[in-house]
Amino acid sequence: MNTLVEVTDFYTAEFEAVAGRLPGRELDWLQALRRQGLKAFGRLGFPTTRQEEWKYTSVRPIGRERFALAVETCVGLVEDDLGAARMPELDAHRFVFVNGRYAPQLSRPGKLPTGATAKPLAQALREEPDRVRALLGRRVRADENGFTALNLAYFTDGLFLEVEPGVRLERPVHMLHVSIGQSEPAAHHLRHLVCAGEGSEVALIEHYVSLGEGTYLDNVATELALQPQAAVRHYKLLQEGAGGFHVAAIDAHQLDDTHYRSHNVCLGGALVRNDIRADLDAEGARCELFGLYVTDGRQHVDNHTRVDHRKPHGTSHEFYKGVLAGRSRGVFNGVVYVHPGAQKTDAQQANHNLLLSRDAEIDTKPQLEIYADDVKCSHGATVGQLDENQMFYLRSRGIPEPTAAGMLTYGFAHDLVEHMGLEPVRHLIEEILVRKLPHAAELQGVE
Amino acid sequence: MLTIKDLRVAVDGKEILKGIDLQVNPGEVHAIMGPNGSGKSTLAYVLAGRPGYEVLGGEVIYEGENLLEMEPEERAWKGIFLAFQYPVEVPGVNNMYFLKAAVNAKRKYLGLPELDAMDFLKLARDKIKLVHMSEDLLKRNVNEGFSGGEKKRNEIFQMAVLEPKLGILDETDSGLDIDALKTVAEGVNSLRNEERSFIVVTHYQRLLDYIVPDYVHVLAHGRIVKSGDRSLALELEEQGYAWVEEAASA
């Protein structure tokens, strides 16, 4: 039995049980917000495929489970347990969260430059609630869908990052989210707030990994505010486990001459849905959205992106690629909306997909809506198999067919890795790709 | 080394090769000439094992084995190399890594230890001099963004590294200026020896000024209509292909 009432009753009862343990319980305004989220969930429930935005992605596997808030356990993880996810080569301010809560024993925040603040959101709620209040829920609203509603009601922690005007972070901020399977399905509701002051620069890595086998839901909302001339590079790396569901809303609000660059890499998870939005709300704003999804088995990965060009002279460049094997399924839906008056907009979008098996499937939908006349907009989507000429060329040199297929697939995907400025991140992804692609053992030695 | 008997091949249901006979012995260089559409490239591709070619009849025996039953990679391991008329660009695949994989696949087949990165680099540096190319080529993706001349030189470089027994050059001269042509020909000549054979497919006799063949065969409408020595190529240059076409249709 799975009616909306039952689902709502469960999450309402659960909320009453845990509300007293959620951070910021002493803040009336936050309590009101959380109640709003809960109420919105009662109205919306989880999305269904009858809704246009969720047409190709059924979240019934999530709706069927009853995700209790992960209990606070001192799991006794040590640094070595994090393995390659630590990216030892990476010199970063590292914030580790385990099952949705900050884990100080695993974190290495280091010293941030004057004018930059990075801390767990729960801590920010204690130390500077007014700053949190100014940012929270401005971009990702409770009433978007059941997930954003639940997130607002339940969020336990996340990252609070504020960079004052003119401050440039030399080292990236690495948030590492570790999910450890528990006996019962558990939810981790995370909320990240980023405010990049005028002319500031920051690189942020949002990284999700899993240890163990259990069923869990990572439900994330990330809100970014870019003041004029700010530059934010935002990496999102998904290495969720086979029992991991991941739903995320990311919203970047961009003022004059800002630059937002997103690298969204999905390499693991049973069911993944990303909603990534860039709102170019002032002149000369620029965004770049790069995405790569590599799926197999019965994985389902859905990337919805939306770029709003509201003012003149904005640039958006979007480039997504997918490699789908097994019976996996991908969805790409990219909206570019050029509002009236957003003249001289330059918007490009491309989505290319490689299907490695007959049972893999991709639904790709570019969606351009243009209400200004002096603009340059292009889009393209392709779905294909490995190129026969390339296959023959490699085989004619003595490279066995499976290795040739692996090399070509790697080459197809690597295109997107090349765009990444942070070398340790690139290396981690390259290693994972080599492991994931067919006959990867023979691919060792890839540069 | 290679014996082709009454080979008939169709592409998309259309018969292109209509009964080819050819004998290539170790150390020989055979030139296959002919007008466009005569089936020259089809012959080259069939020998290398390109999918999509339907063998209607005849046989190809390479070193005592049925060549037509082998996968393309197996032919490469046994010493066949095709220098492509249009070398394929492979974005995202590094030239050095690609060639190292090819060399080691062959060594594995031959029961030899695989080369490590250092040994391979030494070999590659040595061979790349043959075609007067910069070592930077090794770091680039396979043929990606290469000029026409660079692509052809890269083919000869690969051939030098893989050291085949039978090299098949498919219109390697097309699109090359005279300097590049000379470089490519020098590269090929340096690989000539008593064991290694070549089949040189070309439209123009110009290439044969630099790679001097032992035999010349003229292909027209899917058949070899005339065979001879080098002087046949010169004759073709003087008289054009018209008389060959007539002979074939007669």
Encode pLDDT of A412-433 as tens digits: 998 899 889 999 999 999 888 8
pLDDT at A444: 46
Q: What is the CATH number of the domain that holds B152?
A: 3.40.50.300
If you average pLDDT over residues A304-316, what whole number do you get? Answer: 98
Domain spans of chain A?
A: 4-282, 388-447
Banded pLDDT at A79 (limits 50, 70, 90): confident
Instruction: Grade residue A3 by pLDDT with cuts at 50, 70 and 90.
Output: confident
- Residue A2: pLDDT band by 50, 70, 90 thresholds? low
Q: Are A313 and A286 in contact (CB under 8 A)?
A: no
Sequence-distant contacts of A69-73: CB under 8 A, at least 24 apart: A69/A14, A69/A18, A69/A100, A69/A154, A69/A156, A69/A186, A69/A187, A69/A189, A70/A99, A70/A100, A70/A101, A70/A156, A70/A182, A70/A186, A70/A187, A70/A188, A70/A216, A71/A182, A71/A186, A72/A21, A72/A101, A73/A99, A73/A182
Rounded average pLDDT over A212-224: 94
Best mutation site among A354, A387, A389, A393 for testing chain B: the one with the most B CBs within 10 Å? A393
Residue located via tokens 């990236």: A172
Residue-number span of the structural domain to which B52 is assigned? 2-249
* Segment 152-191 of chain B within 8 Å of chain A by CB: 158, 162
Distance from CA of A261 to the nearest CA of B (A): 22
Give the nearest partner residue to B105 out of A393, A398, A413, using CB atoms. A398
- The 8-class DSSP code of residue A130 comes to H
Q: Angle, nearest 10°, between helix axes B117-128 and B148-162?
A: 120
Of A131-135, A295-299, A331-335, B137-141, the one with minimum mean pLDDT is B137-141
User: Is it the case that residue B41 has pLDDT exceeding 60?
Assistant: yes
Q: What percent of chain B has pLDDT over 90?
A: 74
In A, which residues are within 8 Å of B98 by CB distance?
394, 397, 399, 407
pLDDT confidence tier of residue A146, bands split at 50, 70 and 90: very high
> Would the pLDDT of B233 be above 90?
no
Cα-based angle A393, A395, A399 (whole degrees, multiple of 5): 125
Chain B CB within 8 Å of residue A395 CB: yes
Q: How far apart are CA A347 and CA A328, in angstroms?
A: 30
A287: pLDDT confidence band, cut at 50, 70 and 90? Answer: very high
Token output for B220? 């027209």
pLDDT tens digits, residue range B148-171? Answer: 989 999 999 999 999 999 999 999
**Strand ranges for B43-187 from DSSP E:** 53-62, 65-66, 80-83, 90-94, 141-142, 166-170
Q: Which of A442, A434, A438, A398 is nearest to A414 (CA)?
A: A434
List strand residue ranges (DSSP E) for A121-270, in order.
159-163, 173-180, 186-196, 201-211, 216-226, 231-239, 244-254, 259-268
Contact residues, A window 371-390, toward B, CB-based 8 Å cutoff = 388-390
Give A343-352 pLDDT, tens digit per residue. 999 999 999 9
pLDDT (average), residues B205-233: 91
Residue range B71-125, pLDDT digits in tens? 999 999 999 999 999 999 998 888 998 999 999 999 999 999 999 999 999 999 9
* Selection from A180, A217, A222, A213 nearest residue A72 by Cα: A180
Residue A166 in tokens: 């003119």
Angle at A358 between CA A354 and CA A363, to 5 degrees: 55
Instruction: State residue A405's pLDDT score.
Output: 92
B94 close contact with A: CB closer than 8 A = yes
Report the alpha-carbon distance of residue B187 to residue A22 in Å, rounded. 74
Q: What is the pLDDT of residue A446?
A: 43
Q: What is the pLDDT of residue A439?
A: 54
Examine the pLDDT at B244 and tell me if it is beyond 80: no
Q: Give how many domains chain B has, as a whole number.
A: 1
State the pLDDT at residue B250: 56
Query: How far apart, in whole angstroms, are the C-alpha atoms of residue A254 and residue A428?
Result: 29
Per-residue pLDDT of B69-86, as tens digits, reads: 999 999 999 999 999 999
Residues forming a β-bridge with A218: A188, A246
3-class state of residue A210 by DSSP: strand
